[in-house]
Structure 1
Amino acid sequence: MDNVTMIGKDAVSAKLAQCFVTIGRNRYNFMQAINFEAKFEKTKTEIPILGKTGAGNKSTGWKGTGSATFHYNTSIFRQMMIDFKNTGEDVYFEIQVTNEDKTSAAGRQTMVFIDCNIDGGILAKFDADGEYLDEDMDFTFEDFNMPEAFKILSGML
């Protein structure tokens, strides 16, 4: 059997993406984003099994977490922290990420993260020795969907 390999052009460029953040009725083009990552983690329970020396594992749920780094040139997340401090009202929002490299046969994938909630954030910063300012944000999400999926590449099946 021949060893079929991926064609180099089918790798998806790390820089060719779009990110939108919807807070209330406002949809922001989150072009300040430098990087973004959302993770799905299953929660499992160890199951004792009579007659086996090892335990089994049963999935019982999941947890969604994420992180982003972006240029320090927007106040929308700081305003969310101020509003929470002043009112105690928490804000949940949506993040949509689309990866599309037109040179790749993989096509386009879009993921939507629902009921996102920031863990905290930077209120102010400077760096007299730096070139530009950026900031990190960690968040959780409660739901997600994939309205667009990458195509199956030639040779995968």
Structure 2
Amino acid sequence: MERTMKAKDAVSASLAECFITIEGNRYNFMQAINLEASIEKTKSEIPILGKTGKGNKSTGWKGTGSATFHYNTSIFRNILYRFKETGEDVYFDIQITNEDPTSSVGRQTVILKDCNIDGGILAKFDADAEYLDEDMDFTFEDFEIPEKFKMLPGMQ
């Protein structure tokens, strides 16, 4: 039985795919440099008779994320411009798949649903930089995990 993880089972950080679907249009978000999405559980403190401490009960969650990508697309600026002009907020989905063919864990796909950007860069230059990138923070309201990593040998 395996007792330690094999080095080959670490998932390569750059072997991923990212697709964004906005109003029925699916884009290969190949200019992404990194993306991270998290959920934070909201909890209520519960007083309990007979205990000196309070309990904690999960009551919901909030999804947030951030991404850095090359400054070579106007897709998100167009969403911000549309919001400025019309007040219409645009929601979209982001699909992230991690798959390293050398790892025995296979692939994982997560779909972030109803994403909404917090804001963004309108214009940028830097005469001293090698390339331009930009950051984007966003929220999401739901998620799915249609493909999950396999268990490593020795985990069970």
- What TM-score comes out, normalization by structure 2 length? 0.98
- Alignment identity in percent? 76
| Matched AA of 2:25 | N
CA distances 1:40-84 after superposition (whole Å, capped 9, x unpaired): 110000001111111000000000000000000000000000000
CA distances 1:61-117 after superposition (whole Å, capped 9, x unpaired): 000000000000000000000000000000000000000000000100000000000
**Structure 2 residue aligned with 1:141:** 140
**3-state SS of the aligned residue for 2:105?**
coil
Runs (4+) of structure 1 moved beyond 2 Å? none
**Structure 1 residue aligned with 2:43:** 44
What stretches of structure 1 of length at least 5 have no aligned partner?
none
Q: What pairs up with 1:12-31 in 2 under 5 angstroms?
A: 12-31=11-30
In the aligned structure 2, how far is the partner of 1:56 from the partner of 1:87? 46
**Structure 2 residue aligned with 1:81:** 80
Q: What pairs up with 1:54-65 in 2 under 5 angstroms?
A: 54-65=53-64
In the aligned structure 2, how far is the partner of 1:147 from the partner of 1:49? 39
- C-alpha deviation, 1:127, in angstroms: 0.5
| Matched AA of 2:64 | T
What stretches of structure 2 of length at least 5 have no aligned partner?
none
In the aligned structure 2, how far is the partner of 1:3 from the partner of 1:138? 40
**3-state SS of the aligned residue for 1:73?**
coil
